[in-house]
Amino acid sequence: MIEIKNLTKDYGKVKAIEDVSFTVEKGEIVGFLGPNGAGKSTTMNIITGFISSTSGTVRVAGHDILENPVEVKKHIGYLPEQPPLYQDMTVSEFLDFCASLKKVAPREWKSQKKDIMELVKVTHVSHRLIKNLSKGYKQRVGLAQALVGSPEVLILDEPTVGLDPKQIIEIRRLIKALGKNHTIILSTHILPEVSAICDRVIIINKGRIVAIDTPENLSRKLSDFSRFTITVAGPQKKVREILQGVEGVKDVEVSSTFNEDEASYIVEADKDIDVRKPIFNKLAAAGYPILELRSMNLSLEEVFLQLTTTEAKEVV
């Protein structure tokens, strides 16, 4: 759906982005991450046609942004960090205005407008002036304008910034639901949001892509070992012997003791060996049931910091 190849943008001697390449498949939700000044906004502005690149190509739904910008823009809905809302219009008037700009047929717009307002839950404020709405509702109106014209691609820049916790949860749910019918690029500094919503992440640092993968795969690639906690019902000495005897297990520590026959252990293992099945089999054979097993691999925050604060190799 989106294909970026060797994208570069120069501002004089400064390279905002350099040789950026990635693809986003149809129906995928991708998190676009990076520190301030890394090149996220520049890349998104080039994809949406707001600015041109120095070199490289952008294709959306098979159309090149330079050769056919109007056609590309028909396929894209864009929500900037600060939604471009006309404060003295009502919600209904503003969406009608956006539909006229996008040249949506009046007959088609009548039913589409109703669906969009119901989807983002602004129907009951449709006749209120935008300037009188809360931050959360203004964000919803911004998302509604991005949906005008039923674009296949949504590019969302910090869609939950400034919202309260309840509003954040509601917008996350909405974005997740939109992912069923749209291809989405989501830029945000709230990394748990990415873990909760996105299928893959793209991390950019100093104008270059440094990682493209799922959060789980990035964690595995950047860790020197696999780490998890396991709670087992059984005598500690026997359980530790079993765990330490599994091929690939490097270290076992007791983290919590609940009673004589129940404890939690931290297990470190070779990252290239999946020790979960042999652990299960050996403990089951000994009659010691596993009560809980939970991964302790790198969080997305730790992955992000590792890739953007050190001279790490690209993980693509």
Say yes or no to pLDDT of 270 above 90: no
Q: Which tens digit of pLDDT belongs to each residue from 110-151?
A: 889 999 999 888 999 999 999 999 888 898 899 999 999 989
Task: Enter the DSSP assignment of 133.
Answer: S
Among 12, 6, 35, which residue's Cα sits nearest to residue 304? 35
d(CA 293, CA 223): 19
**How far, in Å, are 6, 146, 195 from residue 95 at the CA level?**
36, 10, 31
Q: Which tens digit of pLDDT belongs to each residue from 152-208?
A: 999 998 888 777 888 888 888 888 888 888 899 998 888 878 888 898 999 999 999
Residue 163 is which amino acid? L
Fold of 224-296: Alpha-Beta Plaits (3.30.70)
Residue 273: count other Cβ atoms within 10 Å of its Cβ. 15
Tracing tokens 């979960």 back to the chain, one arrives at: 276
182 touches 152 (CB < 8 A): yes
Which CATH class for the 1-75+151-223+298-316 domain?
alpha beta
Say yes or no to pLDDT of 313 above 70: no
Tell me the two tokens of residue 195.
């873990």
| pTM across the whole model | 0.75
Cα end-to-end distance, the chain, whole Å: 19
pLDDT the model gives residue 89: 96
Residue 14: count other Cβ atoms within 10 Å of its Cβ. 8
Domain segments of the chain as ranges: 1-75+151-223+298-316, 86-145, 224-296
pLDDT the model gives residue 224: 67
pLDDT band at 238 (very low <50, low <70, confident <90, very high): very high
Say yes or no to pLDDT of 316 above 60: no
184 touches 30 (CB < 8 A): yes
pLDDT the model gives residue 188: 83
Helices (H), 5-160: 40-47, 69-74, 91-101, 106-120, 135-147
**How far, in Å, are 178, 240, 241, 267 from residue 234 at the CA level?**
47, 10, 12, 16
Residue 142 is which amino acid? G
Residue 222 is which amino acid? L
Helices 135-147 and 106-120: crossing angle, nearest 10°? 140
pLDDT the model gives residue 132: 95
The reply to whether 1-75+151-223+298-316 and 224-296 are identical in fold is: no
